[in-house]
């Protein structure tokens, strides 16, 4: 079994996306997805009925997922490291609501042992580790340890991430920025390795569910001019990995494809690929 890391070594943060800025427009192109998957996983745990459960959203961002589930569970907690994102989440829930928001890191969760019935971690893993380290994904492992500690026995962890194949086939702009997609893929552990890490931390085998019909960007996903807007790009941190020159070149290309109409056929073909693989993968495991 793996051993947890010393909390003293968990203070380093990887932040290639400036969420203090993008928090202002994040909600214009992002929506929570896979809610049936997440709620189904929580409901199937053996801790207590769904409406009594204490749930944590680890890396809750602007609180979109908490907003979607808070009326269906007992008490919600959200933890978020970026103050801009946290402020947006705070705006969604009034005083006296049963949603408690904390500023902090999911690598070092400030909650007692055996506290939560369920934990969801949506689209956060790619922010935790810089690629190319000798020890593969040390911060993802630290996060899994932290979640394991604060989950009650039989409690469920649901990880929502983009698989490497989904990065390539699930997002229409991927063909226009293949090198950047490779960079992003290196930030995400493979599904196989994620399963091995979960097991090594002590989780029991769960499963993998892929919702094929939903997109992270909702209705705006297929907007052929979407990436030309900064607010659209702010909804997907892949764009933050492009240099100024790469971004300029890519936007020129999208602009030209819109001008000559070739974007229509391009999007049609990309939609066929997306519908085969989906955009996100939900991995669940029980303590």
Ligand X SMILES: C[S@@+](CC[C@H](N)C(=O)[O-])C[C@H]1O[C@@H](n2cnc3c(N)ncnc32)[C@H](O)[C@@H]1O
Q: Residue 54: exposed, middle, or buried by beta-carbon count in 10 A (0-12, 13-18, 19+)?
A: buried
When the beta carbons of 163 and 237 are compared against ligand X, the nearer one is 237
- CA–CA gap between residue 155 and residue 170 (Å, rounded): 30
CB of 163 to ligand X, least distance (A): 16
When the beta carbons of 45 and 123 are compared against ligand X, the nearer one is 123
When the beta carbons of 50 and 216 are compared against ligand X, the nearer one is 216
**86: region left, alpha or beta (phi > 0 left; psi from -120 to 50 alpha):** alpha
Residue list 15-34, contact with ligand X (CB under 6 A): 19, 30
Which CA distances in Å does 126 have to 36, 190, 236? 23, 11, 12
- Strands (E) across 111-203 are located at 116-122, 151-161
Q: Per rule CB under 6 A, is residue 163 in the interface with ligand X?
A: no
DSSP 191-210: HHHHHHHHHHHTPEEEEEE-
Residue whose tokens read 């911060």: 139
When the beta carbons of 47 and 62 are compared against ligand X, the nearer one is 62
CB of 44 to ligand X, least distance (A): 22
Residue list 118-137, contact with ligand X (CB under 6 A): 122-124, 127-128
Pick the stretch among 73-81, 199-207, 242-250, 274-282 that binds ligand X (CB under 6 A). Answer: 73-81
Residue 215 in tokens: 């997109």
When the beta carbons of 29 and 53 are compared against ligand X, the nearer one is 29
- CA–CA gap between residue 163 and residue 167 (Å, rounded): 6
Residue list 204-233, contact with ligand X (CB under 6 A): none
Q: Per rule CB under 6 A, is residue 64 in the interface with ligand X?
A: yes
In sequence order, the β-bridge partners of residue 146 are: none
Q: Per rule CB under 6 A, is residue 157 in the interface with ligand X?
A: no
CB of 86 to ligand X, least distance (A): 8
Per-residue x/- track, 92-111, ligand X (CB under 6 A): -------------xxx----
- CA–CA gap between residue 159 and residue 285 (Å, rounded): 9
> What residues make contact with ligand X under the rule CB under 6 A?
13, 19, 30, 59-61, 64-65, 79-82, 85, 105-107, 122-124, 127-128, 237
């Amino acid at each position: 079994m793996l051993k947890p890391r010393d909390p003293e070594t968990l203070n380093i943060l990887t932040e290639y996306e400036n969420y203090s800025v993008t928090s202002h427009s994040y909600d214009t192109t992002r929506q929570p997805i896979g809610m049936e998957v997440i709620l189904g996983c929580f409901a199937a745990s053996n801790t207590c009925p769904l409406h009594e459960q204490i749930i944590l959203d680890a890396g809750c961002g602007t609180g979109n997922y908490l907003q979607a589930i808070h009326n269906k569970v007992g008490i919600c907690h959200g933890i978020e490291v970026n103050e801009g994102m946290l402020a947006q989440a705070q705006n969604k829930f009034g005083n006296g609501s049963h949603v408690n928001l904390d500023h902090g890191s999911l690598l070092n969760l400030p909650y007692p042992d055996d506290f939560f019935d369920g934990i969801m971690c949506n689209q956060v893993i790619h922010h935790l580790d810089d690629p190319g380290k000798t020890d593969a994904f040390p911060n993802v492992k630290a996060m899994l340890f932290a979640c394991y500690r604060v989950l009650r026995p039989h409690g469920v962890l649901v990880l929502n991430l983009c698989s490497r194949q989904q990065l390539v086939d699930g997002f229409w702009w991927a063909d226009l920025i293949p090198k950047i997609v490779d960079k992003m893929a290196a930030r995400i552990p493979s599904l196989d390795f994620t399963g091995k890490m979960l097991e090594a931390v002590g989780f029991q085998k769960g499963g993998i569910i892929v919702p094929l019909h939903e997109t992270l960007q909702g209705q705006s996903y297929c907007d052929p001019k979407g990436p030309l807007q900064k607010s659209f790009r702010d909804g997907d941190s892949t764009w933050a990995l492009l240099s100024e020159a790469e971004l300029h070149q890519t936007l020129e290309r999208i602009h030209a494809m819109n001008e000559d109409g070739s974007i229509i056929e391009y999007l049609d073909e990309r939609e066929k690929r997306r519908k085969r693989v989906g955009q996100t993968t939900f991995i669940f495991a029980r303590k």
